[in-house]
Structure 1
Amino acid sequence: MGIIDRKAAIAAYKERKTPAGIFAVRCSATGRVWVGRSQHLDTQQNGLWFSLRLGSGMNRDLQAAWKAHGEAAFTFEELERLSDETLPYVRQAMLKERLAFWKAELDAALV
């Protein structure tokens, strides 16, 4: 890969749009559901699973369920994806509003 190709690839990476949205984590062993919001929906599961494997999950209930039932009992589900055209400050407000909606809809805890 030449220098010009490398610079073009870096520029394209920096300009890409990352999808924001709401996600759910479900435990098949207990039926519990946790919901959360993310600015980077495509990579959220990887980061969340990484922290849970290390035992450093932010939510104590979720971490305890992970420890008790193991990774195989959990699924990650994208509930809603926001439009890429949204301004950053509007996006934050929409994420907060939609998170509250899904929390109530699924009778879920927050991640």
Structure 2
Amino acid sequence: MNPRKALLRAYKEEKPEPGVYAVRCQRTGQAFVGATENVATRKNGVWFSLRLGSYPNARLQGAWNAHGEASFVFEVLETIDDGGLEPKGRALRLADRRKHWCETLNAIDLVR
């Protein structure tokens, strides 16, 4: 089989893993917490928007602009087992865990 086709098939068969993540500024210690349906691909989306200057959270975008990309790290805080959950149940669990991590880390919620 063509290696490209094999990679494409593997990508399509990969199950998204929902979870909660943090974007941290190493210079200031400030943390920004978000939740996503697929933690494996979220960093690329966040970094892409920040590099373009179009990230929806103005506080994160401002910190990025002030301190530069090299000052930021992306970390997965938690993945959730969504087995048996309907989409609304998964969304509620993600929101609950995002809130938990915002409180635990004294972080800025990326939803707000």
**TM-score over 0.5 (shorter chain):** yes
Identity %: 48
1:49 matched to 2:67 = no
CA distance in 1, matches of 2:30, 2:83: 33
Normalising by structure 2, report the TM-score: 0.85
Paired residues in the alignment total 106
- Show structure 1 runs of 5+ residues with no match: none
Rg: which structure is higher? 1
Q: Is contact 1:17–1:84 with CA below 8 Å preserved after alignment?
A: no
Which residue of 27, 30, 33 corresponds with 2:31? 33
CA distance in 2, matches of 1:43, 1:85: 20
Question: 1:58 aligns to what?
Answer: 56
Q: Is contact 1:20–1:41 with CA below 8 Å preserved after alignment?
A: yes
* Partner deviation per Cα, 1:51-95 (whole Å, 9 max, x = no partner): 000000111111011011100000001000011414222211110
Question: 2:93 aligns to what?
Answer: 94
- Show structure 2 runs of 5+ residues with no match: none
Distance 1:80 1:25, change over 3 A: same
